[in-house]
Structure 1
Amino acid sequence: MRKRTLMFSAGAVALTLTLSACSMFNDNSDTQSDAAGGKTGQNAPILLTIRHTQVKDTQKKRLAMLQEVVKATEAKVPGLTITLDGVEDKVNRFEKLRAEMAAGNPPEVFDLFGGTDTKDYVKANRLLDLTPILQELGLTDKFYSFDEFTVNGKIYGIPMAGYVEGLYYNKKILADQGIQAPQTWAELVAAAAKLKAAKITPFAMAAKDSWVINMMINTMWVRTAGTDSIEGFLNGSKHWTDPDVLKAFEQYQSLIQKDYFQDGSLALAYAEQQNTFSSGGAAFMFDGSWANTPLLDPEKSVIAQHVGFMNFPTMGGPGDGFINGGWSNAYGFSQKVTPEQLIAIKEFIKQMYTESMQKRQLVEEGMPPAMKLQDTNQVNPLITEILNVFAKSKGTFPAFDSRIQTKVREKLERGMQELLGGRTDPASLMADLQKQQEASNKEETHSK
């Protein structure tokens, strides 16, 4: 991978619904122009629904920014009324939006995940081609990447912000224990042992929400097996049972067996992971850049002045130095909109994707920008640290769940919970995963 340039100059219950088969959506949807019908007349009512995922207490500032954009858009388009529909992000992605896409009635604007989700919806003829709109508005060259939303050379989603996953650490705890930020797996394990001996929880962990537990192991198997491992699983050149993949899961199990994770994690929801870390109850926490907001809130965090961020330590494999990051969340738009709604959508894009709004997201919420910013003053030191870690990585790789099939993802999620609970072992889990991978690959081939 090409080394990333510095970004300064520069996100439930999953349904087993499979969207890759076009027959599932065979409702003979009209094209955008056909669905439009005739014009409704000047200043006639225009209605838009925007599905967003800013529903948590920690996302109030993001919601306020969206509300400002909505107000500005309505002011620019006579007769326009926009309804905001807030849905928790995993519920939106795995339940609500999938069901709406299957039925052919998604909202006009919605939070869209890149990779496989986008490709499935494009195949089903559900997404608006944004390529000409971005060109018309002069935005095509102002973003870091549209890769996760590009299908057959056309763009179907506009990223809202970037993300990066890594290891948060409590600088004060480490300093008090005479521990340097670990750069290798051996140093991380030694630090965990010393912390446990001092009766300090090494890793904050909440595994009730199954996607949470898979963030760290995703990075670990990329460390040991390489950044091309996911594509290898999909095309059959790589297997979950390969020794270099199995090695990462065995090393993860060693952390479990030594009780280095937070007690009772299988019963804890995601927020409890952040609560434990922000209250000073653990030395490390593997999480995404989006987690910085509550950690920096002095009213909710006792470690606001002591939190650091680093790339996961090296493990002696081909994926060392790479980082899970990119631009996976975007606004997508229904292919089935009227000409009047399309005018409103263009205005929404103009109001949402500006230097000012991207700068506010960065400064107020610590969200890595999707657009190339000219001004990066007033950024919190932790955000600067996160962006620098992103920039100095050898390259990026996407989250596995943006590429892997739904049934494989679900098998891994359940399997990791079973591993954490001592109900399976790495070899058995990898064998089960490989069987499901082969079945899913075969099913995909037959559907083409």
Structure 2
Amino acid sequence: MKKSIAAVSVLAALTLVLAGCAPASESGTTEIRYQIQDPEDADSLALIQGSVDQFNDANPDIKVTLEAVPLDQQRTVLQTQLRSGEGPDVFQYDTGPGYAGALSEAGLLLDLTDAYTENSWPVYDFAKERVTFDGKVVGIPQELELLGVYYNMDILAASGLEAPASVDDLFTGGESLIGEGIIPFTFGDEPGWPAFHIFSMSLVSALGADKVQSLIDGESQWNEPEVVKVLDLVFKQFLDAGLYPPTPTALTYDDANSLFLSGQAAKNPTGSWLIADLADADFEIGFMPFPASDGPGAFTGGLGAGTFVSASTKAPEAAITFMSFLVSEERGRYEVETLQRIPAFPVDTAGIEISPLFANVIEEVNNFATGGAALGASIDVNMGDEFNKAMSDGIQALLTGSVTAQELADSLQAASEL
């Protein structure tokens, strides 16, 4: 990941702004631990550490220590650490009911409702709702994630194709691509979770954002015929038609991305977090919602993670000061330009050096953030562990022919009732 001169300027500006908003000095230095999910990339971790260092330099009375913990390890031990009072003061965690919602229900998160008002944190309302449980706002949404389909514009143009505008286009265009030795859709579901994204985006485009929300809320049934139809379409018919690699359950997520980046696959259904990895592609890339049966479909989105404060922190004021830094305009610009992330609050991108692809994604986010378009919910971040396990295991079984779409839908409905 390259660090531009403009990014350095943003960091310099960030230091000046933060220097003027440090809290009143206490005796000595207040230390807080800030735990993040390990990005598994040394360069990304270094950039995050650099941002934390900027905060520390601008706030000499506070010292934030960064801790990077593997995601699986964090999910295993965090709740135990928080209950014992040995957990981090501020931490990154998933925002769904089964994650942050469970911590909030257990009384392990600091109520930030008043902090939002007192500090005028400019978080998008729809994003703030995802970190609100039982009327309490308990976190700051860290990053917006948009689910959609990346497509190789050069391959489509060379094949005489346009971006698919309907499900029928996926099949007809797919036949042409297969004839040229190109995989229409890359898809690697060996880890189990990539299928969540395809299911979420295809279901939203097929049924609409409101219907999918009613499924998540338990107002509709996961084994209704229209849900079964989508499951059969994207995990059986697509596979049977050769739109995917032959054995998606044996292909890793990274290997699937490599098929797209190497030009062996024309389309890649995944999320906006991949944008930074696509920066060095030697072909033009477009980004679109998963098509509906009779039209272009709708985007699906969610929060990749949020940032929360432990209810047992001994330094709540310092923690809230750090949280204010995380939603500052300068931090937002740094996230956009340097980390290639979409903040959950408005950011003025004037003068920021970003790719046309990323600019397009940010424009789409601003569109639905201001009420200009509907945004469907990402299923996995809104459902609990039991449901997500049933979804992961069931989709892999459908892909290998072990169950039918109806049987999978029945298992999802059963899991939703647990």
TM-score category (smaller protein):
0.7 to 0.9
Q: Aligned partners of 1:278 and 1:163: how far apart in 2?
A: 20
Equivalence for 1:95 = 76
Q: Aligned partners of 2:244 and 2:84: how far apart in 1?
A: 42
Equivalence for 1:109 = 90
AA aligned to 2:350 is T
Q: Aligned partners of 1:423 and 1:141: how far apart in 2?
A: 44
In 2, are the aligned partners of 1:363 and 1:380 still within 8 Å (CA)? no
Matching residue within 41, 54, 60 for 2:43? 60
Structure 1 residue 293: deviation in Å?
Answer: 0.6
Q: How does 1:213-228 map to 2 (within 5 A)?
A: 213-228=195-210
Equivalence for 2:10 = none
Q: Which segments of 5 or more consecutive residues in structure 1 lack a partner in the other structure?
A: 1-40, 441-448
Structure 1 residue 86: deviation in Å?
Answer: 1.0
In 1, are the aligned partners of 2:335 and 2:341 still within 8 Å (CA)? yes
Distance 1:143 1:352, change over 3 A: farther
Q: How does 1:173-322 map to 2 (within 5 A)?
A: 173-233=155-215, 236-252=218-234, 253-296=236-279, 298=280, 301-303=281-283, 306-316=284-294, 321-322=297-298
Q: Aligned with 1:161: secondary structure?
A: strand
Distance 1:354 1:413, change over 3 A: same
Structure 1 residue 184: deviation in Å?
Answer: 0.4
Equivalence for 1:16 = none
Q: How does 1:366-385 map to 2 (within 5 A)?
A: 366-377=340-351, 378-385=353-360
RMSD of aligned alpha carbons: 2.6
* 1:337 and 2:319 matched: no
Q: C-alpha offsets along residues 220-263 of structure 1, whole Å, 9 cap, x if unaligned? A: 22333332344434555422221111110111110111222124
Q: Aligned partners of 2:55 and 2:404: how far apart in 1?
A: 54
AA aligned to 2:36 is H
Q: Aligned partners of 2:267 and 2:222: how far apart in 1?
A: 27
Q: Aligned partners of 1:379 and 1:106: how far apart in 2?
A: 37
Q: C-alpha offsets along residues 156-189 of structure 1, whole Å, 9 cap, x if unaligned? A: 1112221111000001111111111001000111
In 2, are the aligned partners of 1:209 and 1:269 still within 8 Å (CA)? yes
In 2, are the aligned partners of 1:143 and 1:370 still within 8 Å (CA)? no
Structure 1 residue 292: deviation in Å?
Answer: 0.7
In 1, are the aligned partners of 2:185 and 2:266 still within 8 Å (CA)? yes
Q: Aligned with 1:210: secondary structure?
A: coil
Q: Aligned partners of 1:362 and 1:150: how far apart in 2?
A: 25
Q: Aligned partners of 1:417 and 1:90: how far apart in 2?
A: 21
Equivalence for 1:47 = 31
Structure 1 residue 213: deviation in Å?
Answer: 1.4
Q: Aligned partners of 2:73 and 2:378: how far apart in 1?
A: 18
Structure 1 residue 335: deviation in Å?
Answer: 0.5
Distance 1:292 1:89, change over 3 A: farther
In 1, are the aligned partners of 2:123 and 2:346 still within 8 Å (CA)? no
Structure 1 residue 309: deviation in Å?
Answer: 0.6
Equivalence for 1:429 = 408
Structure 1 residue 89: deviation in Å?
Answer: 3.8
AA aligned to 2:298 is F
Structure 1 residue 362: deviation in Å?
Answer: 1.3
Q: Aligned with 1:261: secondary structure?
A: coil
Structure 1 residue 45: deviation in Å?
Answer: 5.3
Distance 1:144 1:232, change over 3 A: closer
TM-score by length of 1: 0.79
In 2, are the aligned partners of 1:48 and 1:108 still within 8 Å (CA)? yes
In 1, are the aligned partners of 2:152 and 2:285 still within 8 Å (CA)? yes
Q: Which segments of 5 or more consecutive residues in structure 2 lack a partner in the other structure?
A: 1-24
Q: Aligned partners of 1:88 and 1:189: how far apart in 2?
A: 39
Distance 1:68 1:225, change over 3 A: same
Aligned length: 387
TM-score by length of 2: 0.84
Distance 1:153 1:436, change over 3 A: closer
Structure 1 residue 336: deviation in Å?
Answer: 0.4
Q: Aligned partners of 2:373 and 2:299: how far apart in 1?
A: 8
